[in-house]
Structures are given as structure tokens and as C-alpha cells.
């Protein structure tokens, strides 16, 4: 199993505590190689957590400091695991998806690197698990973009 991670570049203490709970409950018990970027925030959290949970870690470095270079790094991380079986993106968005962000080859996060990575992962066919870092009601998925909502199976008619 391969898990890539994406999330904000800054985390509040509350977010770090919540993410730690998610790692302890949902993430750390999987036998998996972790893939993450070299930014601050969630990336740094994952890099610090990997040795604690005894995980193999592959870090993807950005080649410059322009926004497009961060996007290129994120796409490189997704491309590296896209064709591997049982590959996941675990995403920790701290805001709702920008309207212009859609899954496509030349994706735009419209200012959100996290959502850019999520949309590109969807385009590449990865499994995606969201851990929102903003207030949502339990069971409320109205904030989830349409392109992430799985279609329910349709009953075929015989007539």
C-alpha cells in the first residue's frame, strides 16, 4: 500500500491534535509506504510522524519556490504511485474546494495546493480519503465537490 499526503502549509495546535488522532486511529496501522512533500505544515507533520510509526518515507522536493514548482512537485508525487495497486491520497484540506478546481491533466488549484493535489489524484484514479480541517457537521458532505462524490450504483431495468 502507498499513501501520499497533502494539506496546508501551516497548522494550528488544534489541527495538529486532530491530525494526530486521525493518524493514530486511521493511518498508522496500515502497512504502507508514505509519500509526502517537503513543505511546512502537514508535510512536516508527516515527515516527523513517519519514524515514530516506523514507516518507509519518500519525500518529494520542490525545485524552486514558485507556485507552479510546488504544483509540479505534487503532481510528481501523485504520478509516482498512480499505477501502483492500493494507492491512496490522504488529504487534509483547511478550506472548501475553489470553484475553478477540477480534476484534469493541467489542473488548477485556484490558489489551493491541497485541492490541486486532490483534483489531480482524482484525475489519475487514486483512492482519496478526506480529513477536513475546517468545521463540518458529522455526516454533512455538502462541502465536497461534485467530482469527488461517488455515484451510487443504479438499478438496471429489465424493461
pLDDT in tens, 69-110: 999 999 999 999 999 989 999 999 999 999 999 999 888 888
Predicted TM-score (pTM) of this structure:
0.88
pLDDT in tens, 25-45: 778 788 899 999 999 999 999
CA dihedral 14, 17, 19, 23 (to 10 degrees): -170
Cell 504544483: give the residue: 71
Residues 131/120, Cβ–Cβ less than 8 Å: no
Greater pLDDT, 154 or 61: 61
The H-or-E segment that residue 147 falls in is: none
pLDDT in tens, 115-131: 999 999 999 999 999 99
The architecture of the domain spanning 2-148 is: 3-Layer(aba) Sandwich (3.40)
Average pLDDT over residues 124-146: 85
pLDDT band with cut points at 50, 70 and 90 for residue 62 = very high
Paired strand residues for 89: 4, 128
End-to-end CA distance of the chain: 43
Query: Which of 2-16, 68-82, 92-106, 133-147 has the lowest average pLDDT?
Result: 133-147
| pLDDT reported for residue 143 | 83
Amino acid at each position: 500500500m502507498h499513501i501520499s499526503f497533502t494539506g496546508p502549509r501551516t497548522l494550528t495546535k488544534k489541527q495538529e491534535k486532530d491530525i494526530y488522532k486521525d493518524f493514530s486511529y486511521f493511518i498508522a496501522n496500515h502497512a504502507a509506504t508514505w509519500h509526502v512533500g517537503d513543505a511546512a505544515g502537514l508535510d512536516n507533520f508527516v515527515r516527523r510522524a513517519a519514524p515514530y510509526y516506523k514507516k518507509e518515507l519518500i519525500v518529494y522536493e520542490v525545485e524552486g519556490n514558485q507556485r507552479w514548482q510546488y504544483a509540479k512537485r505534487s503532481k510528481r508525487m501523485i504520478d509516482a504511485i498512480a499505477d501502483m495497486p492500493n494507492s491512496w491520497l490522504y488529504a487534509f484540506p483547511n478550506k472548501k474546494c475553489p470553484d475553478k478546481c477540477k480534476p484534469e491533466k493541467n489542473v488548477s488549484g485556484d490558489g489551493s495546493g491541497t485541492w490541486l493535489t486532490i483534483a489531480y489524484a482524482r484525475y489519475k484514479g487514486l483512492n482519496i480519503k478526506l480529513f477536513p480541517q475546517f468545521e463540518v457537521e458529522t455526516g454533512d458532505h455538502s462541502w465536497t465537490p461534485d467530482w469527488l462524490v461517488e455515484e451510487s450504483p443504479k438499478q438496471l431495468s429489465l424493461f
